[in-house]
């Protein structure tokens, strides 16, 4: 059976990307790679909407999150962590591992943080060095108001560190314009390449934090990366084939046009939400993202059974809930190389599977609602 991937990473790969990886390897200090890397560096600046360099690390996204903590802080520093889901928790865990003291701002799962509360915390704890947040908390499907959060930080000395790993390329994030200090991205989400690369960009202000940080690091050292970039290189052997794939995906995205890429994600997200609502289902996220739609599953059904039915019966693989949401929600991604027909397939399999499991849905209702959005 044909399998279709609707998980919020990894996401499906365009053929150009798959073929780019299949080519013979080139040496990472050679002429050919230099050209590829130069193009990728420029392309990444466009993605991050910044004039600053974007560092490329060979790692999944979490490695770049750890790199940010290790390069920006010192043991004993205090940071504010927005904890509204699994990835917010991850920030807290990484910081704790480096002896950094976490002041959490706990947000009910499914909700977005209130910038006013962030301001309060920063006023009450003037010693806070950095605020760690997500752009999209993938575990709950919620998008955070980074623009407003960045504005709150402007009156302080603290830096804002945004895990935009799932959101980058799916939600607008003008790093320079919004004056975000640190943005982190990953390869296996909207950028349409396999897992294995992560990206970090830093504002000029952030470098004083790097200078003062005493956390241990070797492979993740931002200063080494910056120095190697002077020679258009990475300090160590990069994942050459993934960077070749990235060049292709960046070309495809540039050809589509960034405005269009973002508009496509917004349209597919809306179609998916409208479909779920038409089927009488509830959207779990109070501020739903364009990355992934988290849908509450009717209480008489186990979400994992629904997922199995969708995958085994119809070749549609969606994500489940994490931790406390396991068995309660499904998450349908519309991330990366996706179009309207893909979403129709996902919604169709959802309808049929719900009906198979004894849920009183009318076949076609969700599909019709999605089609209406896609036709507009």
Ligand X SMILES: *Cc1c(COP(=O)(O)O)cnc(C)c1O
Query: Which residues of the chain form contacts with ligand X (CB under 6 A)?
Result: 8-9, 60-62, 87, 134, 138, 163, 165-166, 186, 195
CB of 12 to ligand X, least distance (A): 15
User: In this structure, are strands 101-106 and 78-83 parallel, antiparallel, or unpaired?
Assistant: parallel
Tokens of 135: 């752009």
Which residue is nearest to ligand X, using beta carbons?
A: 61
Per the CB < 8 A criterion, the answer to whether 168 and 189 are in contact is yes
CB of 24 to ligand X, least distance (A): 27
Place of tokens 């790199």: 67
CB of 60 to ligand X, least distance (A): 3
Tokens of 41: 């560096």
Tokens of 246: 């990235």
> Nearest 5°: phi and psi at 96?
-60, -40
CB of 281 to ligand X, least distance (A): 23
Per the CB < 8 A criterion, the answer to whether 75 and 214 are in contact is yes
Report the alpha-carbon distance of residue 323 to residue 190 in Å, rounded: 24
Beta bridge partners of 58: 197
**Which helix or strand (DSSP H or E) is residue 355 part of?**
helix 340-356
Percentages (nearest 5) of helix, strand, coil residues in the chain: 45, 20, 40
**Which one, 166 or 172, has the nearer CB to ligand X?**
166
CB of 305 to ligand X, least distance (A): 25
**Which one, 62 or 233, has the nearer CB to ligand X?**
62
CB of 61 to ligand X, least distance (A): 3
**Which one, 88 or 366, has the nearer CB to ligand X?**
88
**Which one, 246 or 361, has the nearer CB to ligand X?**
246
**Which one, 167 or 366, has the nearer CB to ligand X?**
167
Per the CB < 8 A criterion, the answer to whether 36 and 244 are in contact is yes
**Which one, 206 or 289, has the nearer CB to ligand X?**
289
């Amino acid at each position: 059976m044909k399998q279709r991937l609707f998980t919020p990473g990894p996401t499906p790969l365009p053929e150009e990307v798959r073929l780019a990886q299949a080519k013979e390897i080139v040496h990472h200090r050679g002429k050919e790679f230099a050209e590829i890397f130069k193009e990728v560096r420029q392309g990444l600046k466009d993605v991050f909407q910044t004039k600053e360099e974007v560092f490329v690390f060979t790692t999944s996204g979490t490695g770049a999150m750890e790199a940010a903590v290790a390069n920006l802080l010192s043991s004993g520093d205090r940071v504010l962590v927005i904890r509204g889901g699994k990835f917010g928790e991850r920030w807290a865990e990484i910081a704790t591992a480096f002896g950094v003291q976490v002041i959490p701002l706990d947000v009910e799962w499914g909700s977005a943080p209130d910038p006013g509360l962030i301001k309060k915390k920063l006023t009450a704890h003037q010693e806070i060095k950095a605020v760690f947040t997500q752009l999209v908390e993938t575990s709950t499907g919620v998008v955070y108001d980074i623009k407003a959060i960045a504005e709150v930080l402007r009156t302080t000395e603290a830096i804002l560190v945004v895990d935009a790993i799932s959101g980058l390329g799916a939600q607008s994030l003008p790093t320079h314009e919004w004056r975000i200090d640190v943005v982190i991205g990953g390869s296996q989400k909207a950028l349409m390449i396999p897992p294995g690369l992560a990206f970090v960009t830093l504002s000029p202000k952030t470098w004083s934090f790097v200078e003062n940080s005493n956390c241990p690091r070797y492979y993740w050292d931002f200063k080494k990366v910056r120095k190697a970039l002077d020679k258009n290189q990475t300090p160590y052997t990069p994942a050459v084939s993934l960077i070749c794939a990235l060049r292709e995906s960046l070309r495809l995205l540039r050809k589509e046009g960034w405005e269009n890429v973002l508009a496509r994600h917004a349209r597919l997200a809306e179609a998916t939400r409208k479909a779920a609502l038409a089927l009488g289902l509830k959207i779990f996220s109070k501020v739903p993202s364009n990355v992934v739609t988290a849908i509450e599953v009717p209480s008489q059904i186990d979400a994992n059974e629904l997922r199995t039915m969708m995958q085994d019966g119809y070749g549609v693989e969606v994500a489940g809930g994490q931790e406390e949401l396991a068995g309660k929600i499904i998450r349908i991604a519309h991330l990366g190389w996706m179009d309207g027909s893909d979403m129709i397939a996902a919604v169709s399999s959802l309808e049929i599977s719900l009906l198979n499991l004894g849920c009183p849905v009318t076949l076609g209702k969700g599909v019709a609602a999605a089609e209406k959005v896609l036709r507009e």
